[in-house]
Structure 1
């Protein structure tokens, strides 16, 4: 695979960040493993934002390791214990998914019927991407970490400082939401739902429990809805206004995501993590939590957002932008990694129609050549590339796909006039009967000067192209004649 070069080439931002990280006290011990964090929510198919975070983290990991010689590890966490709050627009079986709103993602059926849960189906796709890009990391499922008790010691720290930590996070939400906000969210034994709107009545760090109730005097707005509902409608089947005591350990409660982010960073001694510009405020909350608990604050790196062709943020739930399946169709691996390594702090549009701009001059040059030559298939495109460029570039398959989908498909179909159709039919007949090589002199004898654009339109869809003798040679006489006859048949 040709990806290694992009991990070892000098990367200015990686070098700067590696040097910055190397100066932190907790990373100066020669044999202490330095851990890089990454996380994602498996509520939708992995997109370019998910991929960029882990790829750029791998860039930095490599740069840091080469600079310091210290052992490193990437820890990637899938927050599969989080609730399904909204049905992703890009998923099938929308009605079925709507029936499982509020359940942890690891307990929602897979709408593709390929895995034991929605989250696990997304996890498998993410693991396949990691393998494809040859990125080694420790892959952690939140559900496993919570249920196994791995997080228990850190969760107890949060419980012991509940009042202060809850207040730190609550400041980042709206005034109305604060009325039923808690960093601890019980997972209901009755319905299996994540209970996100509670009022904590008592905290007992000695037993690791909280006593809470779902308030009766609040309104809850469903994500994406314009109206609010009563608690008994939103939490159907749950006791409303009734105190309940539950352990916060062993997966019986989940931390709200900002607190969860801080908790896993502390628990796993993460020294460095990247995040999108849209999470800048949340990263500041995490920083305050770590400082309050007197734990090392990880180094954060804020990167720009990926936008679709309309300038909207690419969203897992909306499914807009550049699907990673499309990425392989239009971008070769080297072009994609080159795009991800450049100017990570800038917001970047990322859509199929923008592929030439994403990939750079070499891609655009090859596209111009293919557009000018109008090959009939990939084999012919390769022949033209070898003839005019001296080689078939590695990105030829992706440029050919882009040409077919966005250039050739945009050309209006050519329907010749009756006289033009008769000429094309006759030309096809003359060419098919030739026993000598097709030279420029032969073509000039068969095609009047003013009718060359008609021939090009019939063969390529465009009024001009490469030298016609070259085009016919590469395409083949039999196929060329067939194109002429098929075009003429639309009128005759």
Structure 2
């Protein structure tokens, strides 16, 4: 056992807590003879390809990747691991998305498996294949290490056959789990098997007239009124989504899966199905769902959230990974106004990491975001400070900001600080789209005017090399000199009169970045307005 794996035994970060539970599970299975000692440990995530991958897809894969890495460190490489991403592409198409070309042309394919629906974009063999390609491209852009599995291919290739035959043999036991979860009307027509109609190609939600456990066959009434007998193997049928969850766990030997709170009530059902099929349910982790700016649950249908693409237009993906890492079991607002704070928190954690001992490093989010190898470079300028620089410098190009930045952080350049260069571009976009439209400047009171004029004079004649600290101290002194009982009111006045907003970064840091003389000029212009 390495020093790092020993530290991981007591690390409190939630990926390590899950990793320790998973290690215990695997050790118990090996001891009981339920698995080979060298069998890979399987992590799984699922994806519904009826729509595009979204922020929930990113969150599930990035969080699972964090647990996978924590497990590998904890066990010091004792086990091989695999992360499988399964696309439920054999599901019937329930409705035609409004976003596809010529949606009416797809209405004739409703309830057909997504992998038999033609691709409206004309680039792949089916709608399901198109969406699967979009998923893989989405995951690849973040560098995730995963294996993609198509549910259709698993059903048709025989990968699920053994479990499907066992499900036929255990049909009554599965029905015993499912029926109590359904209403009377649904109970009358329910079947865990969904046959694919030989006459129409649609996924049928019909009761079974007979289940032959020995032959692994089911008999049902097809849409044309005839009774049809099909094998449960070879892709002739699929399973209802709840039994499918448990069957997939059993067929793929899944050891760990996490899912959103909307699955929490059904998790015991998935586990019971897996046990019926002879597989110990995987370790599971339920995370909270995100809320919109009004505190309401985010819905893909409503479009009331923020997409990955929208987040990445204003911030690096590491900031989004941090937001996913922090308090996964707490419902959090996911809207544009959380982005700046997430960026600056990421920078803070990145700055701390090199100064920390090994044990605290394992608790630092950047260790988990970067799989134990966070970059050494950070940003000497915060995102909030950059946005305020944008507010007063009014640049048309990032290069125009670098004169201020290089003076504030000597020796820095786009080449030596690529993250800072990216952040400058993000700050310009975020300021333009969200801060500028909400700006409201106000006139100063007589007390504020006198204090600001004094501050401008002191900035023009500042005797020392300006730094964030000494300029902040001087600004405090000016506030005290002019009788501000609560210095927060003094700084709030600076932000409202000079920047048109109620709050901002440390004023001294802003003045150091923008320059003492330029800040004095900014005050003069504001007082003359």
| Residue in structure 2 matching 1:154, options 132, 152, 163 | 163
Distance 1:98 1:303, change over 3 A: same
- Structure scoring higher RCO (CA < 8 A, sep ≥ 6) equals 1
Q: 1:89 to 1:17 in 2, by over 3 A?
A: same
Deviation (angstroms), 1:206: 1.9
Residues 369 and 170 of structure 1: CA distance in aligned 2, closer, same or farther (over 3 Å): farther
Q: Report the 3-state secondary structure (helix = DSSP H, G, I; strand = E; otherwise coil) of the residue aligned with 1:99.
A: helix
What is the match of residue 19 of structure 2?
18
Partner in structure 1 of residue 208 of structure 2: 200
Q: Distance in 1 between matches of 2:122 and 2:333?
A: 32
Q: CA deviation at 1:51?
A: 1.0
Deviations for 1:150-206, whole angstroms, at most 9, x for unmatched residues? 11000011110112202312333333222221110011122211112x121111022
* Kept after mapping to 1: 8 A contact 2:158/2:233: yes
Cα deviation digits, residues 368-418 of structure 1 (max 9, x gap): 443344333333244444444665624332222211211234559xxxxxx
Alignment of 1:65 with 2:72, yes or no, is yes
The answer on whether the counterparts of 1:88 and 1:316 sit within 8 Å (CA) in structure 2 is no
C-alpha distance in 1, partners of 2:384/2:123?
38
Cα offset, 1:318, TM superposition: 4.3
**Residue in 2 aligned with 1:74?**
83
**1:309–1:354 CA contact under 8 A, matched in 2:** no
Of 48, 56, 73, the residue aligned with 1:49 is: 56
1:209 Cα deviation from its structure 2 partner: 1.1
Classify 1:382/1:124 alpha carbon distance in 2 versus 1 (closer, same or farther; 3 Å). farther
After superposition, residues 205-354 of structure 1 pair within 5 angstroms as 205-213=213-221, 238-240=223-225, 242-354=226-338
Which residue does the alignment assign to 1:377? 397
The 1:181–1:318 alpha-carbon spacing in structure 2 relative to 1, beyond 3 Å, is farther
TM, length-normalised to structure 2: 0.68
Classify 1:64/1:320 alpha carbon distance in 2 versus 1 (closer, same or farther; 3 Å).
same
In the alignment, the residues of structure 2 paired with residue 320 and residue 96 of structure 1 have an alpha-carbon distance, to the nearest angstrom, of: 28
Gaps of 5+ in 2: 1-7, 346-381, 441-459, 461-498, 502-510, 522-529
Task: Give 3-state SS (helix, strand or coil) of 1:45's partner.
Answer: coil
**In the aligned structure 1, how far is the partner of 2:23 from the partner of 2:164?**
29
Deviates more, 1:292-301 or 1:75-84: 292-301
Contact 2:84 2:147 in 1 (8 A): yes
Deviation of 1:317 after TM superposition, in Å, equals 4.3
* Change over 3 Å in CA distance of 1:251–1:37 after alignment to 2: same
RMSD of equivalent CA atoms: 3.5
Distance 2:119 2:406 in 1: 47
Partner of 1:4: none
2:179 aligned with 1:170, yes or no?
yes
Residues 1:20 and 1:117: Cα distance change in structure 2 (over 3 Å) = same
Paired residue total:
402
| CA distance in 2 between partners of 1:306 and 1:97 (Å) | 32
Distance in 2 (CA, whole Å) between partners of 1:244 and 1:365 is 69
State the Cα deviation string for residues 200-254 of structure 1 (Å, max 9, x = none). 111102222111136xxxxxxxxxxxxxxxxxxxxxxx224x4322221100101
Q: Secondary structure at the match of 1:105?
A: coil
- Taking the aligned partners of 1:153 and 1:265, their CA distance within structure 2 comes to 13
**Residues in 2 aligned to 1:316 and 1:122: alpha-carbon distance in whole angstroms:** 16
Task: Flag the 1:141–1:239 CA change in 2: closer, same or farther, 3 A.
Answer: same
User: 2: distance between equivalents of 1:163 and 1:352?
Assistant: 50
